[in-house]
Amino acid sequence: MDRPDAAPETDEQLRRRLSPMQYHCTQEAGTEQAFTGEYWDEKQAGTYRCVACGVALFDSDTKYDSGTGWPSFWEPVAEGLVDNHQDTSRGMVRTEVTCTSCSAHLGHVFPDGPQPTGRRYCMNSACLTLDPRDA
């Protein structure tokens, strides 16, 4: 799916196109249960795109096993593709990550990731789609 230049979808169009879990995670800032998402243990090479708008966000070269049960990356494919916002929901202070292009909730970023960035972008599989790369 490649929708970066497409007109924004209405809420009703998103509800029809996305699965209930994809809609819940991207539009209602939901979280899928750990170790249940499609990509938490995915090893295939490729580009991870926003499921809502199709923008390329993360590359498999920066994906690593964080042991958390969610797909984790140490950086986006380029600066400016994701926005960070303070999230104080559920009695915690965290940094929410959203897609800059469509504002879809993706997950959270934490300062406990590997070098070279030290960041752990902990994303919901439901918010991503994998565009496989030929090996």
Nearest to 40 by CA among 131, 128, 125: 125
Which amino acids are annotated catalytic?
A: 122
Sheet holding 56-59, edge to edge: 56-59, 46-50, 128-132
